[in-house]
Structure 1
Amino acid sequence: MKSLLKILIIIVVIICAAGAWYINSKQPQRSGEVSLANLQASVSVRYDERGVPHIQAQNESDMYRTLGYVHAQDRLFQMEMVRRLARGELAAILGPKLIDSDRLFRSLGIRSYADAYAAKMDPNTPANKALMAYLDGINQYQNTHPAPIEFDILGITKRPFTPKDSVSVAGYMAYSFAAAFRTEPVLTYIRDQLGSEYLDVFDLAWHPEGVVAPNLAANDWQDLNRLAQLSQQAVTDSGLALFEGSNAWAVSGNRTASGKPLLAGDPHIGFAVPSVWYEAHLSYPGFELYGHHQALSATASLGHNLDFGWSITMFQNDDIDLIAEKLNPDNANQVWYQGKWVELQSRSEQIAVKGADPVTLTLRRSPHGPIINDALGKHAGKTPIAMWWAFLETENPILDAFYQLNRADTLAKARAASEKIHAPGLNIVWANASGDIGWWAAAKLPLRPDGVNPNFILDGSSYEADKLGFVPFTANPQEENPARGYIVSANYQPVPDSGIEVPGYYNLPARGIRLNQGLADNSVKWNIQNSQALQLDSGSGYAQRLLKPLLPIIKAAASADEQELVLLLSNWNGDHQLEGIAPTIFNQLVYQLAYEAMGDEMGESFFNTLINTRVVDFALPRLAAEANSPWWDNRDTSVIEDRTETVAIAWQASLKHLRSTLGTDTANWQWGKTHTLTHGHPLGQQDLLDKMFNVGQFAAPGGHETPNNLSHKMGPTPWKVAYGPSTRRLIDFADPSHSLGINPVGQSGVAFDQHYQDQAQTYINGQYIKQHFSEADIAANTVSTLKLIPVK
């Protein structure tokens, strides 16, 4: 027995030792010396206490090559996953459940567009040289190191990263900004199946004379809804982040305590492990930038130095039109276009599937764009739905744009760089130490024929689906050094000085109003401290607006025991703090109100699509104020319900759900107990692996469309936070070397690394961390140094 016990102990020790060796072999190397091919000189990489690399090179190509190398050792699996998502290659490693996602992304045309774009790239431009050096650094790391743990689990074979991958990822970002896939089918369904009177609550200017209603059959409507749901599900199933919204503002020196401009930004992106941004401080003689990089992007999407800085928000302009094509009844490969029948272009691609035979996908294209319901394969309806997308239809030199923006120290340079961003539409909010602030809504805005409302699916047989050109950039919404002394951008609909209409799927103005109320207070001198409070504001005026016409009805419908809850709502200021009970009641009531009013007309499938759109946020306050809206009647009953009856039903249903889910003691209905954040890893959707890779759960303050936009999808409690600030940055240009920031999880995407989740608790607590920029600060906070030397 003793001998057997010794043997068992030895086996356990060997297994533990092997496991430790295996895990250690996957960890990033942040000290010592590494030889790297194609370097012209040695490069120093100093890592600070958060694992942020501070790269000192002697020339530009060495700097970007080193960035690629260190980015890869922290985020190689993220790079692999995002390129596979964008290029429709996830089923090859995740199996048949991702076939639909791959079908969708290939049908969007991102893959073929990226291939053509990369083939035409001039290898001698500065931006493309930077990209090639960066990709070389990634590939050198990949070729000389063990694959990440996730590669081993999924059986991923290493492949070189190429410019096609980088352009594809840019296409994915553009796609994730596009709300048209979810919104246009829903609004068109409401208009054509329910009637135009049902559109009133959505505050849409409907021009039926300008849009010919497509002739869609029942299975065509099912197609459109499946596409809407698939566009959301594709990213969810992959475990990757979806770009959602953002806040940013810039304050002139005459409104700040320091006398210099102040820049704030917090882009809102889906939470995931690792988080979307990779921080890196880059320098070579004549250039220095502290930037936030996306996977496979050499240049920073957010950045600053001692002279200037910028942040971005989603423009949310409508740069996609869905178009129902008219088929030739005598030739199913022809559609009616500009007065004649024209042939659809067609090609086939194969989707590799793990554990199954490859799937052949036939992709068609009309003169308007790719036929996106080909993503549904043999289950697609008869009507081809084409997609016109600015990303596919413009030159879009976005790589050059951000290369130049990384170096834009004047208004003129920042404006010129922004003009090169054609799609996705982005708001560039910029400031410099010289005292300038600026904002440019960067996008190629299409000119549509008069009367066309792109909120709806257009008829491809009519000229209304055509484009007449693009708006000149000078007519885009923009401001430079406004007299009021500040600029704020929060995804609401902009009003350009040019007077042009800019259709889009904008967020509620609630965040923008809240931020503007703070920034407009002339008694406040803005600094880093009070700017933190504004970024972390968890309040909103939306709740009071929605509740105002409903509270008298709720009070009359509530029992004596429920009057205290009605009083809580009546006295609530809209703040979503962890200990609050009112936000829990309100958010349950919002969902229940939408369901009781709209669920019967829409049906379960279309209703679930509707509540994942932004237009429902606009509709509910208008619906609450409109006593005679047709939505109040429940079509499933023989009587006609009014607002009073339906609101009372929603109130009682809300309380019933809260009691059954959270218990009868309302003290347990605190917001922080039912509103939580878990950072999910792509493999964390599997049991056991979730404990290894996911980070959280955390009680989360904030809420939907509050400045601290820790937002959940509309639905019944409990609520899982889906997206929020992907970083919070604050830069006072009186002292830009002491800027503040935060990563929602950590710098590293390597499981068991010390920087995998070391910022997660700090983030949810609303705290900030210094972004080291000066030589003295970097030296004082250097934890380790990695030296890259040329191969001899």
Structure 2
Amino acid sequence: MKRSLTFLAVAITAAAAGSAWYIDKQLPVRDGNLPLAGLQAPVEVRYDERGVPHIQAQNEADMYRALGFVHAQDRLFQMEMLRRLARGELAEVLGPKLVETDRLFRTLSIREHADRYAKTLDRNSPAVKALQAYLDGINQYQDQRPAPVEFDLLGIEKRPFTLEDTVSVAGYMAYSFAAAFRTEPAITYVRDHLGADYLKVFDLDWHPDGVIPPLAAGDWKDLTRIARLSQEALVEAGLPQFEGSNAWAVAGSHTASGKPLLAGDPHIRFAVPAVWYEAQLSYPGFELYGHHQALNPYASLGHNSQFAWSLTMFQNDDLDLIAEKVNPDNPNQVSINGQWVELQSREETIQVKGGEPVKLTLRRSPHGPIINDALGNSAGKTPVAMWWAFLQTENPILEAFYQLNRADSLDKARSAVAKIHSPGLNVIYANASGDIGWWAAAKLPQRPAGVNPYFILDGANGEADKPAFLPFSANPQEENPARGYIVSANYQPLSPTGVPIPGYYNLPDRGIRLNQLLAEPGAKWDTQNSQALQLDTTTGYGQRLLAPLLGDLRAAAADDGEHALVEQLAAWHGDYPLQSTAATLFNQLTYELARAAMHDELGDAFFDNLLQTRILDDALPRLAATPASAWWDDRSSEAVESRADIVKQAWQASLAHLRQTFGNDSSQWLWSKGHTLTHEHPLGAQKPLNLLFNVGPFAAPGGHEVPNNLSHRVGPAPWSVVYGPSTRRLIDLADASKALGINPVGQSGVPFDTHYADQAEPYIRGEYQPMHFAEGDVQAHTRSTLHLQPAD
């Protein structure tokens, strides 16, 4: 017994020592000296208390090469997973369950487009030379240092990162905006199967002459499967997906300092590691504090002492689904404007870990890739093509952000932004000279008169044609407005020419709330009082939805306790603090109303798709205010139900679910219990790896479409936060060295690293951290220094 216990103790000690050694060798090196081939001079990298690198180089190439090296130290696995997702190569390391996801991304043609696009890049342009130096830094780190733990767990073999990978990841980011896959099939189904009365709540016209050729049951099944696959591919990958955003710029006339102030918090799906990698970059003549995406050396968000900018998602509709008419005598031909045209095809192979390779035949019509091919041999009869601006425009987006990183004037910023064709982005800009500006950046297609791209289009009659693109001057934009501030919050913008700009825009309520606060008379904004705007948890949406229904809710209340709950909703101001019970009740009721009114018409698949769309948010208040809407009748019963009947049904279902979930005491239905945030790692979906890689859960204030947009999907309690502020930044151009920000998790993506999750709790509490910029400030907060030395 003693010998056995002694042996066990020795074995445990040895295992612990071995684990400690293994973990230690995976950690980033942030101190000492390391060689880096290709450097022309030494580069100094000083790390602050949050693990943010402050890179000092003597020239541009050295700076970007060093950025690639230190970025890879913290985020190599994120880089690997993003390129594999974008290029359809996940099954090679994750096995057969990822074949569907790979098949989808191969079908989207991101990989094919990236390979072709990379060949057109001018290798001698400053932007491409900077990107090549950055990728070289990544590859040198990968060659010299131990693989991340995730590489070992999954058996990933190292291979160089390329220009094609960077372009592919840009394609993934563009695709993650695309709401068409989830929205257009559902809306088209409503039009073609339910009719004009049912479309009214979506505020869309019915065009009988625009109905696509009849789709078979198998075709509709295809479309719901593609919508589901499109959503699951983004959710299950555990990687960033762009969803919304807030940003505003305030002119010096409305700030305490007399100089412009910029605020921004892009809304992106939460993940570990977080999307942004912070770094201060400098060489003689250039300095920038930037937030970088994986495999991109140019900051997507940034500031220095002279200028600052942020992004929100434009949400313009840059993707059309098009039903093609097949030649009955030749299934490889489709009708385009009266002519039979051959479909092009190509063969690709997906490598599968633990399984046989999967061979694909991917087709393309003149309108774009045939997305049914994502379903393989089980696809229905009607080919559905995808026209996507990312594939159809020149889109010099790398050059655009290279220039934006250096845009110290309004003219330079505007010129850089005009080069962004896809995805659509709002760029909000301010400079120390006193300018503020906003440009909606996208290459906006012209569509034939009368064509409504919210529906699946008919490929045979010309309505899917794109005769031209609008000039950039026709895009929504604003510079130095008289009111003294600019707000961007994903609501539908107005074109300067009056031309409609179709899109899947967010509710206006978030923007209305920010505008209301920024317009307060006499307010003088700084980085301190601006925090309250970014952390605000109030929206007018709740009262817009509830006001028409209060009479029906009061009638539905069965006793004094239920009457008290109705009155609590009636008095609710639409705020989402942790202690709110009204927020919990309202969100459950929202879901039950949608389900009781719409599920019987749509069925499981289309109703689930609708829950994933932005158009539902807009439809529900319109439905609530329309007691005669056809949606209120329950098709599954012989009776004709009224709004009051459905509201009563939804009320009872809400109370039953909340009692079952949180108990009978309604005072305990706290938002803090029902609304939580867990930052999920790509491997965290597999237990018990969630305990090792995931961060959380945390009780989360805020909610869906409030300024502090810690947002969840419409559904039953409890609610997991899906996306929210991917950083919160505040920069006063009077002294940008005092800028504030926060990372939702931590700077590092390396498990067990000090900076893996060190900002997660401050983030959920609404705290801010200084973004050190001035030399004295950086020096005072340096915790370690890495010296990169020329190896040649």
| Residues 596 and 646, structure 1, Cα contact 8 Å, conserved in 2 | yes
Query: In the alignment, is residue 780 of structure 1 matched against residue 780 of structure 2?
Result: yes
CA contact (8 A) 1:214 1:458 kept: no
- Cα drift, residue 226 of structure 1: 0.8
Amino acid at match of 1:233: E
- Corresponding residue for residue 350 of structure 1: 349
Q: Which secondary structure state, in structure 2, belongs to the residue aligned with residue 233 of structure 1? A: helix
Superposed displacement of residue 521, structure 1:
1.5
Alpha-carbon distance in 1 for matches of 2:625, 2:10: 74
Deviation at 1:343, TM superposition (A): 0.5
Would the aligned equivalents of 2:533 and 2:707 in 1 still touch at CA under 8 Å?
Answer: yes
The amino acid of 1:381's aligned partner reads G
1:19 aligns with 2:19: yes
CA RMSD of aligned residues (A): 0.8
Task: Check if 1:676 corresponds to 2:680.
Answer: no
- Cα distance in 2 for partners of 1:196, 1:174 equals 33
1:212 and 1:462 in contact (8 A); partners too: no
The one-character-per-residue Cα deviations of 1:63-92 (angstroms, maximum 9, x if unpaired) are 000000000000000000000000000111
Deviation at 1:383, TM superposition (A): 0.3
- Counterpart of 1:764, as a letter, is I
Matched letter for residue 263 of structure 1: L
Whichever residue aligns with residue 121 of structure 1, its letter is L
Instruction: Decide whether the 8 Å contact of 2:191 with 2:206 is kept in 1.
Output: no
Aligned-residue offset at 1:235: 1.4
Conserved 8 A contact 2:746-2:758: yes
Counterpart in 2 of 1:267?
A: 266
Cα distance in 2 between the residues matched to 1:389 and 1:98? 24
Q: Secondary structure at the match of 1:548?
A: helix
> How far apart are 1:528 and its partner, in Å?
1.0
Q: CA deviation at 1:120?
A: 1.3
- What amino acid maps onto 2:367 in structure 1? H
Q: For 1:688 and 1:544, locate their aligned partners in 2 and report how far apart those are by CA, in whole Å.
A: 42
Q: Which moved more, 1:700-709 or 1:336-345?
A: 336-345
Structure 2 letter corresponding to 1:273: V
Contact 1:79–1:296, Cα closer than 8 Å, also in 2 = yes
After TM superposition, the structure 1 = structure 2 runs for residues 400-439 of structure 1, keeping only pairs within 5 Å, are 400-439=399-438
Residue 731 of structure 2 aligns to a residue in which SS?
strand
Given the alignment of the two structures, is residue 243 of structure 1 paired with residue 209 of structure 2, yes or no? no
Deviations 1:37-86 (A, max 9, x none): 00000000000000000000000000000000000000000000000000
- In structure 2, the residue matched to 1:228 is 227
1:557 corresponds to:
556
Which AA in structure 2 matches 1:469? A
Alignment of 1:86-105 (within 5 A): 86-105=86-105
Q: TM-score, normalised by structure 1?
A: 0.99
What does residue range 289-368 of structure 1 map to in structure 2 within 5 Å? 289-368=288-367
Q: What CA distance in whole angstroms lies between the structure 1 residues aligned with 2:775 and 2:267?
A: 31
Q: Does 1:630 align with 2:640?
A: no
Tell me if 1:445 matches 2:444: yes
CA distance in 2 between counterparts of 1:340 and 1:496 reads 36
Deviation at 1:567, TM superposition (A): 1.3
Write the mapping of 1:753-792 to structure 2, written as runs, cut at 5 A: 753-792=753-792
Q: Distance in 2 between matches of 1:509 and 1:205?
A: 21
CA contact (8 A) 1:98 1:237 kept: no
Partner in structure 2 of residue 723 of structure 1: 723
Aligned residues: 791
How do 1:523-538 and structure 2 match up within 5 A? 523-538=522-537
CA contact (8 A) 1:68 1:134 kept: yes
Aligned-partner Cα distance in 2 for 1:706–1:207: 35
Cα distance in 1 for residues equivalent to 2:256 and 2:521: 12
Q: In the alignment, residue 313 of structure 1 is paired with which amino acid? A: T
SS at match of 2:214: coil
How far the C-alpha of 1:224 sits from its partner, in A, is 0.7
Please state how far the C-alpha of 1:215 moved relative to its aligned partner: 2.3
Shift of 1:556: 1.2
Tell me the residue number matched to 1:739: 739
Q: Could you say which residue in structure 1 is the equivalent of 2:162? A: 162
1:305 shift after superposition: 0.2
User: 1:667 offset after TM fit, Å?
Assistant: 2.1
Matches within 5 A, 1:321-720: 321-560=320-559, 561-720=561-720
Which residue identity does 1:37 align to in structure 2?
A: A
User: How far is the alpha carbon of 1:563 from its aligned partner?
Assistant: 1.1
Question: In the aligned structure 2, how far is the partner of 1:196 from the partner of 1:284?
Answer: 62
Partner of 2:74: 74
Code of the residue aligned with 2:660 in structure 1: it is S
Corresponding letter in the other structure for 2:726: S
Q: Is the 8 A contact 1:249 1:487 kept in 2?
A: yes
Describe the SS at the equivalent of 1:499. coil
Amino acid of the structure 1 residue aligned with 2:181? F
Shift of 1:205: 3.5
Letter of the 1:186 partner, please give it: A
How do residues 204-223 of structure 1 correspond to structure 2 at under 5 angstroms? 204-209=204-209, 211-223=210-222
The answer (yes or no) to whether the contact 1:214–1:457 under 8 Å persists in 2 is no
Gaps (5+ residues) in structure 1? Answer: none
Which amino acid is the alignment partner of residue 194 of structure 1?
L
1-structure distance, mates of 2:16, 2:651: 56
Query: Which residue identity is paired with 1:761?
Result: E
The one-letter amino acid paired with 2:286 is: F
**Separation in structure 2 between the aligned mates of residue 267 and residue 215 of structure 1, nearest angstrom:** 41
**How far apart are the structure 1 equivalents of 2:288 and 2:499?**
36
Q: Residues of 2 paired with 1:212 and 1:223: CA distance?
A: 18
Q: What's the offset of the Cα at 1:527?
A: 1.1
Post-superposition offset of 1:3: 3.7
CA distance in structure 2 between the partners assigned to 1:114 and 1:65 by the alignment: 22
Normalized against structure 2, the TM-score is what?
Answer: 0.99
3-state SS in 2 of match to 1:182: helix
Shift of 1:236: 1.4
Q: Percent identity?
A: 68
CA contact (8 A) 1:303 1:406 kept: yes
> Which amino acid in 1 is paired with 2:192?
D
| CA shift digits 1:719-762 (9 cap, x unpaired) | 00000000000000111111000000000000000000000000
2:278–2:289 contact (8 Å) kept in structure 1: yes
Superposed counterparts of 1:266-285, under 5 Å: 266-285=265-284
* TM superposition shift of 1:4: 3.6
How far apart are the structure 1 equivalents of 2:98 and 2:777? 46
AA aligned to 1:691 is L
SS at match of 2:723: strand
Give the superposition deviation at 1:212: 4.0
Contact 1:292-1:302 at 8 Å conserved across structures: yes
**1:257 matched residue in structure 2:** 256
**1-structure distance, mates of 2:773, 2:459:** 54
The 3-state SS of whatever aligns with 1:497 is coil
SS state at 1:438 partner: strand
Residue 772 of structure 1: SS of its match in structure 2?
coil
Q: SS state of the match for residue 335, structure 2?
A: strand
CA distance in 2, matches of 1:497, 1:120: 34
CA distance in 1, matches of 2:699, 2:594: 26
**Residue 125 of structure 2 corresponds to residue 125 of structure 1:** yes
Deviations 1:565-598 (A, max 9, x none): 1111011100000000000000000000000000
Shift of 1:339: 1.8
CA distance in 1, matches of 2:712, 2:97: 25
What secondary structure, in the 3-state scheme, does the structure 2 residue paired with 1:503 have?
coil
* Structure 2 residue ranges without an equivalent (≥5): none
TM-superposed deviation, 1:522: 2.4
The answer to whether the 8 A contact 1:255-1:522 is kept is: no
Instruction: Give the superposition deviation at 1:500.
Output: 1.1
Q: Counterpart of 1:710 in structure 2: which amino acid?
A: L
SS at match of 2:707: coil
Q: C-alpha distance in 1, partners of 2:693/2:4?
A: 35
Q: Which amino acid aligns with 1:195?
A: G
Give the secondary structure class of the aligned counterpart of 2:58. coil
Shift of 1:5: 3.1
Equivalent residue for 1:196? 196
Paired amino acid for 1:486: Y
Q: Distance in 1 between matches of 2:91 and 2:194?
A: 38
Q: How far does residue 30 in structure 1 lie from its aligned partner after superposition?
A: 0.2
1:532 aligned partner, one-letter code: Q
Q: Residue type matched to 1:675 in 2?
A: H
